[in-house]
Chain A
Amino acid sequence: MSFRIIVLAKQVPDTRNVGKDAMKADGTVNRAALPAIFNPEDLNALELALRIKDQRKDCEVIVLTMGPFRAAEIVREAMYRGADRGYLITDRKFAGSDTLATSYAISLAVKKLEPYNLVISGRQAIDGDTAQVGPQTAEKLNIPQVTYAEEIPEVTDTHIVIKRRLELGIETVKAPMPLAITVHSSAPDCRQRVAKLLMKYKHARTVTELQNETKDYTELYNQRPYLQIDEWTVDDLHADVEMLGLSGSPTKVKKIENVVFAHKDSKVMTSSDEDINNLMKDLIESHVIG
């Protein structure tokens, strides 16, 4: 039996280098102005999965992503780095899903890939920063979860040892499988794309993408079935439509405010004993020290 790892990955707008057109007037993200990238912590998650694959010959890494058609790029990017295959969950009916509806859809897709040993994802995505989808998916799958993973020092057929990056230190835990893991950005950076894998998989397409190709790939796809990236729709997942999209999302955005950061009041201090004493008093009072 193979050791199956499912990596959950999301395509996100690159919010790390934002220009002035990054937000629309209504306060929502202007996705068109920002390049779409592989969510950074999901890349950390992929690296941890690939490290297990480096050690175990029987390991299979499957990437699962949910989003519009163009999110198929995430599946290819993962395959360029060593993932075996991937699936794109895509359907207009998913539009407007919050984390609850999203984790519902993802959990159904994960179930289709049973039996699995691990479900690994980044801690959070840089567009929403909720850190909820990983844990909620684990709950829906009814499996245990370990969050903030930084390193996986040991994997056997029955258990896994994980180092967790916490605020005040590192905690090492041992967990049974199947298990869900969310990965912290302090985990190792993801490896580079591998030249031969890139050239092998660069023609991988979903059915929808193939329809938009000018070239005829029919023959190539018959010879190389691994180039087919499967798309899963609501029907494929046998999902309850009521639990998806806006109707399945209890999160309602009440108001969005544009916040302009400004300098706060500043205090000028000299190096006199009096000023230093006052500063120490303030710091102790505000519990910054002491």
Chain B
Amino acid sequence: MANFYNDNENLKFHLTHPLMEKIVKLKEKNYTEMEHHDYAPLDLEDALDSYDKVLEIIGEISGDIVGPNAESVDHDGPQLIDNEVIYAKGTQENYDALVKAGLIGMSLPREYGGLNFPIVPYVMSGEIVSRADAGFANIWGLQDCAETIHEFGSEEIKNEYLPRFNKGATAAMDLTEPDAGSDLQAVQLKATLDQQTGIWYLDGVKRFITNGDADISLVLARSEANTSDARGLSLFVYDRTHRAVKIRRIENKLGIKGSPTCELVFKNAPAKLIGDTKLGLIKYVMSLMNSARLGVGAQSVGIAEAAWREALKYAQEREQFGKAIIRYPAVYEMITNMKVKTDAIRTLLYETARFVDIYKAYTFAGHDRKLEQSEREESKYYLKLADVFTPLLKLFSSEYCNQIAYDALQIHGGTGYMKDFPVERIFRDARITTIYEGTSQLQVVAAIRGVGNGAYLKALQAYGAIEVKPELQYMKSVLGKMTEQFGKTAEKVNEFEDNEYLDFHARRLVEMAGNTIMGYLLLHDANRSDVYTKSADIFIRMARAENIAKVGFINQSHPKDLGAYKQV
């Protein structure tokens, strides 16, 4: 009888953010959809109520079905039988329940059978499912592929594939290959066009493909012969019913064991082109990856929430030296920091989701009508923010969720190292988040642009201009100083005009920006609800101390020091 939505007030708080008014109005085309669809909202209040109630269903399925199945799914895992991936029994039960409740294709428009939800409640569903079972959250989250087909596919492809999602079709994004992991420009899988029929045929190998035996797969392939870079790559959609893919094996992984990771061999597999040739990686996969990174952000927050709840429960129950261990400073500090960090990455998650929501809503509105000048500018503004916030979110949420899972296991002591408590699984599941959909190191590569072009500084200054209650003013002034310190330090590193030196300090600079941004977001949360005052206060203390340490390190370094690090 658990409900992972209702038992977490933070979710309702973020769902009712003031910016939702703009998002929902755009998404619902000024509430005109109700003329054609009996489940479309009448107004903002009605829409928010629908999100709330539908998330309640997801919370119930997560609490009553997905969560209780997590242990057996982790143990059983998927199987490969007769070239078919058979999900663990619990995985299939989870998916069936979500399909029957009509929840797949949450963000798709109603004309394709979707629920037309904004990104914010969709991302929230990812967090909720992930708290129950992070491995299963991958299968749930791959409905992102529908979004990519919707955004870039032709009318024919949209009509053929999109209505299948709400009926339960599963999806996969087939990008990586044995020699093309982080470096997707090196993709080799070949796509050949049959000029007569207009059908493309795919040949080659894909590796580490989550849910590789899905009904609908998006495949990145080289359509341009004699090319070797990103400009020769296009995106295709492959339908499983063609049965032209051999599944070589399912990987045996450290964590997220319920999520089948496959090695695939495409043999003359018929496929359809998404959008235009040569834009596969440059445009479509970049967009898909951004959604996937948001998805990992949600997954990380879900794991963090699960880990800190397990830790809190254990610390309250476990007694040593005559009292519950949570009463010792060494333990209560850990527990509190876990909670504060979870609040921090959650607020970053939903802020990023809102930015994505607004620019996407404008993009789709632009398909139907000509946007006003002011709308185009606004769309561009939020797109820029989404671009620099997404890598920041992926970096911080995944790193924090690992720290939180690590501490949660630590709090369990020896017991946590055994399979008897869920924390052992959570710890293993967390580990992948800093690796897939772009490692932390690659997120820094993406994010450092935001340091260089001043995007973070601008965002921070805009946050700094927002007034807060007098009793919160002290935090605002600390954050103002941190902003200044970040700007100066970035400038100082850039003064050397040495790219390698900038790369060397990139993570430190990006983290300084991120610490300050999350500080502001928590401060604004506190301004809206007292519940967050404590988290804001503790986080800002922690962030300030961390940033001071980073500045200390940077100030002591010089480009010539890099040599010492290269000698190992």
Asked if B102 lies at the interface with its beta carbon under 8 angstroms from chain A, I say: yes
Asked if B74 lies at the interface with its beta carbon under 8 angstroms from chain A, I say: no
Q: CA of A195 to CA of B101 in the docked complex: distance in angstroms?
A: 6
Chain B residues with CB under 8 Å of A220's CB are 42
Asked if A161 lies at the interface with its beta carbon under 8 angstroms from chain B, I say: no
Complex interface bits, B45-65 against A, C-beta within 8 A gives 1, otherwise 0:
000011001100100110000
Q: CA of A191 to CA of B100 in the docked complex: distance in angstroms?
A: 8
Q: CA of A17 to CA of B1 in the docked complex: distance in angstroms?
A: 10
| Number of CB contacts from chain A to chain B under 8 A | 44
Q: Is the CB of A194 within 8 A of B42?
A: no
Q: Is the CB of B101 within 8 A of A194?
A: yes
A199 vs chain B, min Cβ distance (A) = 4
Asked if A198 lies at the interface with its beta carbon under 8 angstroms from chain B, I say: yes
Q: Contacts A192-B101, A193-B101; is A198 near B38 (CB within 8 Å)?
A: no
Q: CA of A194 to CA of B98 in the docked complex: distance in angstroms?
A: 9
Asked if A287 lies at the interface with its beta carbon under 8 angstroms from chain B, I say: no
Asked if A200 lies at the interface with its beta carbon under 8 angstroms from chain B, I say: yes
In B93-145, the 8 Å CB interface with A consists of 97, 100-103, 115
Q: Is the CB of B60 within 8 A of A199?
A: no
Q: Contacts A196-B115, A224-B38; is A202 near B101 (CB within 8 Å)?
A: no
Asked if B553 lies at the interface with its beta carbon under 8 angstroms from chain A, I say: no
Classify chain A: how many residues form its interface, as a range: 10 to 19
Q: CA of A196 to CA of B100 in the docked complex: distance in angstroms?
A: 11
Asked if B39 lies at the interface with its beta carbon under 8 angstroms from chain A, I say: yes
Q: CA of A162 to CA of B45 in the docked complex: distance in angstroms?
A: 46
Q: Is the CB of A192 within 8 A of B53?
A: no
Q: Contacts A191-B100, A202-B49, A202-B50; is A196 near B57 (CB within 8 Å)?
A: no
Chain B residues with CB under 8 Å of A196's CB are 39, 102, 115
In A25-64, the 8 Å CB interface with B consists of none
Complex interface bits, A188-215 against B, C-beta within 8 A gives 1, otherwise 0:
0001111111111010000000000000
Q: CA of A201 to CA of B368 in the docked complex: distance in angstroms?
A: 30
B197 vs chain A, min Cβ distance (A) = 37
Chain B residues with CB under 8 Å of A191's CB are 100-101
Chain A residues with CB under 8 Å of B49's CB are 202
Other-chain residue from B39, B60, B101 in contact with A200 (beta carbon distance below 8 A): B39
B148 vs chain A, min Cβ distance (A) = 22
A248 vs chain B, min Cβ distance (A) = 36
Chain A residues with CB under 8 Å of B60's CB are 192
Q: Which residue on A lies nearest to B115, using beta carbons? A: A195
B162 vs chain A, min Cβ distance (A) = 16
Chain A residues with CB under 8 Å of B115's CB are 195-196, 199
In B277-295, the 8 Å CB interface with A consists of none
Q: Contacts A202-B49, A202-B50, A202-B53; is A195 near B102 (CB within 8 Å)?
A: yes
Q: Is the CB of B53 within 8 A of A198?
A: yes
Give the one of B38, B49, B100, B115 with max A CB within 10 A. B38
Chain B residues with CB under 8 Å of A202's CB are 49-50, 53
Chain A residues with CB under 8 Å of B102's CB are 194-197
Q: CA of A199 to CA of B115 in the docked complex: distance in angstroms?
A: 10
Q: Contacts A202-B49, A202-B50; is A195 near B103 (CB within 8 Å)?
A: yes
Q: Which residue on A lies nearest to B43, using beta carbons? A: A215
Chain A residues with CB under 8 Å of B101's CB are 191-195
Q: Contacts A192-B60, A224-B38; is A199 near B100 (CB within 8 Å)?
A: no
Give the one of B39, B41, B115 with max A CB within 10 A. B39
A73 vs chain B, min Cβ distance (A) = 13
Give the one of A194, A196, A198 with max B CB within 10 A. A196
Q: Is the CB of A192 within 8 A of B54?
A: no
Q: Contacts A194-B102, A195-B101; is A200 near B61 (CB within 8 Å)?
A: no
Q: Is the CB of A195 within 8 A of B57?
A: yes
B304 vs chain A, min Cβ distance (A) = 26
Chain B residues with CB under 8 Å of A17's CB are 1
Chain A residues with CB under 8 Å of B50's CB are 198-199, 202
Q: CA of A279 to CA of B391 in the docked complex: distance in angstroms?
A: 70
Q: Is the CB of A198 within 8 A of B57?
A: yes
Q: Is the CB of A192 within 8 A of B97?
A: yes
B565 vs chain A, min Cβ distance (A) = 53
Q: CA of A194 to CA of B101 in the docked complex: distance in angstroms?
A: 4
Q: CA of A202 to CA of B1 in the docked complex: distance in angstroms?
A: 22
Q: CA of A191 to CA of B60 in the docked complex: distance in angstroms?
A: 11
Q: Is the CB of A192 within 8 A of B57?
A: yes
B270 vs chain A, min Cβ distance (A) = 33
Q: Is the CB of A192 within 8 A of B61?
A: yes
A30 vs chain B, min Cβ distance (A) = 20
Q: Contacts A198-B53, A198-B57; is A192 near B38 (CB within 8 Å)?
A: no
Give the one of A17, A192, A195 with max B CB within 10 A. A195
B103 vs chain A, min Cβ distance (A) = 6
Q: Contacts A192-B57, A192-B61, A195-B115; is A200 near B97 (CB within 8 Å)?
A: no
In A235-271, the 8 Å CB interface with B consists of none
Chain B residues with CB under 8 Å of A194's CB are 100-102
Other-chain residue from B1, B41, B42, B100 in contact with A192 (beta carbon distance below 8 A): B100
Q: CA of A192 to CA of B99 in the docked complex: distance in angstroms?
A: 10
A9 vs chain B, min Cβ distance (A) = 19
Q: CA of A276 to CA of B115 in the docked complex: distance in angstroms?
A: 66
Q: CA of A55 to CA of B50 in the docked complex: distance in angstroms?
A: 29
A112 vs chain B, min Cβ distance (A) = 27
B3 vs chain A, min Cβ distance (A) = 12
Q: CA of A200 to CA of B102 in the docked complex: distance in angstroms?
A: 13
Give the one of A193, A202, A224 with max B CB within 10 A. A193
B46 vs chain A, min Cβ distance (A) = 8
In A158-194, the 8 Å CB interface with B consists of 191-194
Q: Is the CB of A199 within 8 A of B57?
A: no
Q: Is the CB of B42 within 8 A of A199?
A: no
A15 vs chain B, min Cβ distance (A) = 13
Q: Is the CB of A195 within 8 A of B54?
A: yes
What 6 A-B pairs are tightest by C-beta distance, nearest first? A199-B39, A192-B101, A195-B102, A200-B39, A196-B39, A194-B102
Q: List 23 A-B contacts (CB under 8 A).
A: A191-B100, A192-B97, A192-B100, A193-B57, A193-B101, A195-B39, A195-B54, A195-B57, A195-B101, A196-B39, A196-B102, A197-B39, A197-B102, A198-B53, A198-B57, A199-B39, A199-B40, A199-B53, A199-B54, A200-B38, A200-B39, A202-B49, A202-B50
**Given A199-B40, A199-B41, 18 more contacts at CB 8 Å?**
A17-B1, A193-B57, A193-B101, A194-B101, A194-B102, A195-B54, A195-B101, A195-B103, A197-B39, A197-B102, A198-B50, A198-B57, A199-B50, A199-B115, A200-B38, A200-B39, A202-B50, A202-B53
Interface residues, chain B, with chain A CB atoms under 8 Å away? 1, 38-42, 49-50, 53-54, 57, 60-61, 97, 100-103, 115
